[in-house]
């Protein structure tokens, strides 16, 4: 399912890409081969659940090896309120609108998971971003939604945010749509949500008119922390949902049962011709593949299974807890993190139904031998991932969610988390931990912080979609 096909510049759908005026790149291959090396990283950084009387911030990390401040937190954009729990964020526009004139990728949409407050940050100068607008929670609650999660820019000048609960933090969730010009709320994206109650992440393939969303739980369930009794009571998800992108209607539910408990991150190929993808089931510690049949319905299979492991300090076998995954821009490699075990894995998925493990890196966690990097204690384990556009550097942070951190890795709540990196050699199918790169958010200005999602100025493999 490689994106590096020779016929991507002009397709059967009439998208002419040889004189691009819009944002992003005409093809995934162009982003991978023509973009510059990343020099700056935006990192969600939060202080919820920590003994720090300060707001969350968006951190600016120097990732330019030729810079005097390499691997340092060089700037912070503090939020105007405390307690937001910044989590995931995204761009105002991306490569899905690369053929549309008049758009620029220059604003970050930064929601607060707990507060439901949405911040609009002007990032036109990556080293000097600033808050431009704040959408207050009351404006969001008017649409009976709360707990914003995944932000995607979509064609036709819109931004769609998955919302995990209603205004009271209960079910159902939904999708909030913003206008791309003035960032005003336009209401729900979905017209008919069918039997969808729980929500989490989503991905879309506009060429095939499909969106796929996943499930976590109601905010009132996961906010306090993880309780196995909630799983047994059916309060956590085990399904993904197929949507008609054009009509915005629910089409089908794929239920995994115990094979797919808590399916979180959804990743579909960057090649817009593909109608398949992967989702990581956190608690079941599986990677599930889903695809569209010839009759227009969707099916699934388990393609990777991580075995639970015994630990002397645990009353039960420890699941890997697959919490993030991504596909390289050429769709050849799948990377994912096992947050409780302590490793990040690299699979060759050239044969999409038969992923082949090619390498893994251990760093922190409950089973990793390496518990320090560059003199810094690894607090937590590989969690949120981001890959360089050329596929040669994999970065990650070690915090999951404030209350879950405090349960499983309480040292994060005391001292903050880290950002680490591995060098990737795609021709050889291997990775190597870079022991010279470590950003310790325990040393953040104003006190320790939890580092979470990572974004590159100019786009990345987890924000950009092509049509």
Identify the bridge partners of residue 162 per DSSP, sorted by sequence position.
175
Write down the pLDDT at residue 337.
Answer: 98
Write down the pLDDT at residue 98.
Answer: 83
Residue 223 has pLDDT above 60, yes or no: yes
Mean pLDDT of 232-252: 98
Mean pLDDT of 13-21: 51
Mean pLDDT of 281-303: 97
Residue 5 has pLDDT above 60, yes or no: no
Mean pLDDT of 244-273: 97
Cα-based distances in Å from 384 to 193, 294, 396? 28, 34, 5
Write down the pLDDT at residue 4.
Answer: 56
Identify the bridge partners of residue 205 per DSSP, sorted by sequence position.
210
* Alpha-carbon span 403 to 333, nearest angstrom: 32
What is the number of other CB atoms lying within 10 angstroms of the CB of residue 296? 11
Handedness of CA 183, 189, 195, 201 (dihedral sign): negative
For the chain, what percent of residues have pLDDT higher than 70? 96
Cα-based distances in Å from 50 to 129, 227, 406, 447? 25, 21, 9, 9
C-alpha 251 chain-centroid distance: 24
Gyration radius from the chain CA atoms = 20
User: How is domain 28-455 classified at the CATH fold level?
Assistant: Methylamine Dehydrogenase; Chain H (2.130.10)
* Alpha-carbon span 43 to 97, nearest angstrom: 24
Mean pLDDT of 285-310: 97
Write down the pLDDT at residue 2.
Answer: 53
- 298 Cβ partners below 8 Å, 6+ apart? 242, 252, 254, 290, 291, 292
* Alpha-carbon span 366 to 359, nearest angstrom: 19
Range with lowest mean pLDDT among 21-35, 62-76, 272-286: 21-35
Hunting for tokens 């008919």 — which residue is that?
192
Mean pLDDT of 16-23: 62
Hunting for tokens 């089908």 — which residue is that?
252
Range with lowest mean pLDDT among 6-15, 149-158, 318-327, 438-447: 6-15
Write down the pLDDT at residue 156.
Answer: 79
179, 211 Cβ separation under 8 angstroms = no
Q: Per residue in 391-440, pLDDT tens?
A: 999 999 999 999 999 999 999 999 999 999 999 999 999 999 999 999 99
* Alpha-carbon span 282 to 242, nearest angstrom: 20
- Mean pLDDT across the chain, nearest whole number? 95
Domains of the chain by residue range = 28-455
For the chain, what percent of residues have pLDDT higher than 90? 92
Q: Per residue in 246-255, pLDDT tens?
A: 999 999 999 9
Range with lowest mean pLDDT among 75-84, 154-163, 364-373: 154-163
Write down the pLDDT at residue 20.
Answer: 57
* Alpha-carbon span 385 to 323, nearest angstrom: 9
pLDDT band at 8 (very low <50, low <70, confident <90, very high): very low
Mean pLDDT of 360-369: 97
342, 311 Cβ separation under 8 angstroms = no
177, 211 Cβ separation under 8 angstroms = no
Write down the pLDDT at residue 3.
Answer: 54
Q: Per residue in 329-359, pLDDT tens?
A: 999 999 999 999 999 999 999 999 999 999 9
175, 166 Cβ separation under 8 angstroms = no
Q: Of 220, 211, 212, which is closest to residue 166 (Cα–Cα)?
A: 220
Mean pLDDT of 248-267: 98
Write down the pLDDT at residue 102.
Answer: 77
115, 137 Cβ separation under 8 angstroms = yes
Q: Per residue in 444-464, pLDDT tens?
A: 999 999 999 999 999 999 999
Residue 39 has pLDDT above 70, yes or no: yes
Residue 125 has pLDDT above 90, yes or no: yes
């Amino acid at each position: 399912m490689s994106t590096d096909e020779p016929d991507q510049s002009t397709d059967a759908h009439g998208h002419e890409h040889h004189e691009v005026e819009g944002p992003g790149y005409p093809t995934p291959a162009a982003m991978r081969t023509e973009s510059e090396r990343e020099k700056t990283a935006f990192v969600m950084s939060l202080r919820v659940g920590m003994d720090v009387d300060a707001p969350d911030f968006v951190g600016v990390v120097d990732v330019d090896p030729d810079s005097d401040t390499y691997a340092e937190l060089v700037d912070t954009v503090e939020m105007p309120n405390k307690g937001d729990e910044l989590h995931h964020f995204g761009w105002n526009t991306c490569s899905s609108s690369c053929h549309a004139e008049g758009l620029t990728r220059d604003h970050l949409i930064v929601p607060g998971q707990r507060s439901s407050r949405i911040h609009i940050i002007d990032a036109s100068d990556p080293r000097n971003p600033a808050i431009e607008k704040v959408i207050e929670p009351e404006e969001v609650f008017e649409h009976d939604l709360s707990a914003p999660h995944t932000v995607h820019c979509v064609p036709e000048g819109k931004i769609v945010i998955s919302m995990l609960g209603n205004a009271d933090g209960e079910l159902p969730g939904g999708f909030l749509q913003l206008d791309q010009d003035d960032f005003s709320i336009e209401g729900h994206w979905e017209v008919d949500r069918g039997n969808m109650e729980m929500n989490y992440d989503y991905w879309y393939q506009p060429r095939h008119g499909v969106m796929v969303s996943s499930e976590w739980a109601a905010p009132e369930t996961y906010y306090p922390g993880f309780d196995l009794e909630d799983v047994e009571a059916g309060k956590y998800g085990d399904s993904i949902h197929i949507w008609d992108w054009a009509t915005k209607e629910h089409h089908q539910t794929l239920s995994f049962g115990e094979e797919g408990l808590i399916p979180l991150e959804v990743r579909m190929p960057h090649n817009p011709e593909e109608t398949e993808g992967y989702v990581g089931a956190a608690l079941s510690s599986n990677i599930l593949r889903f695809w569209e049949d010839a009759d227009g319905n969707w099916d699934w299979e388990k393609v990777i299974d991580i075995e639970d492991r015994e630990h002397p300090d645990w009353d039960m076998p420890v699941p890997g807890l697959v919490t993030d995954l991504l596909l390289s821009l050429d769709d050849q490699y799948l990377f994912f993190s096992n947050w409780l075990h302590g490793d990040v894995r690299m699979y060759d998925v050239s044969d999409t139904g038969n992923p082949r493990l090619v390498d893994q890196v251990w760093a922190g966690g409950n089973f990793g031998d390496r518990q320090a990097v560059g003199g810094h204690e690894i607090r937590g384990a590989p969690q949120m991932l981001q890959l360089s556009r050329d596929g040669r550097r994999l970065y990650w942070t070690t915090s999951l969610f404030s209350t879950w951190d405090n349960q499983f890795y309480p040292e994060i709540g005391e001292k903050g988390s880290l950002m680490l990196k591995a060098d990737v050699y795609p021709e050889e199918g291997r990775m190597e931990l870079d022991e010279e790169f470590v950003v310790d958010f325990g040393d953040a200005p104003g006190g320790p912080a939890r580092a979470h999602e990572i974004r590159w100025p100019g786009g990345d493999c987890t924000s950009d979609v092509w049509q």
